[in-house]
Structure 1
């Protein structure tokens, strides 16, 4: 099991990120958000009301680039 990184959408918007919501065609209750960074990279969230993704460690996770971007851009986030 890894750590979950959680970021408020408003904090991402303040630094120029764009949020786009998606729905599962087979289950309209399943909705999530995709965040696009100012440099064009994007990451999908597990939820629709915040950015939430797995990052087992900043050294070894495939999503570590996003955690590092949050740190570099002083975006507050929770992890655990």
Structure 2
């Protein structure tokens, strides 16, 4: 079923991109973005989605800690870590 759904999404995306007003029409671009996200959700393995979701908070949290500890300033002042 996912294969059929992916084909339908790809067909719709292809039709949008083939539209002559694709580059200048924000609504068509927005629909293309929506379809591309739907395609990703269709073909992505559930365990990969779960892992991304589980670890997605660590990057901003790590950046915040690095800023609070002035790590970036330290790296810049010493030409490296």
Q: Which of structures 1 and 2 has the larger relative contact order (alpha carbons within 8 angstroms, sep 6+)?
A: 1
Please report the TM-score for the alignment, with normalisation by the length of structure 1. 0.24
Give the structure with the larger helix fraction.
Answer: 2
Give the structure with the larger strand fraction.
Answer: 1
Please report the TM-score for the alignment, with normalisation by the length of structure 2. 0.24
Larger Rg: 2
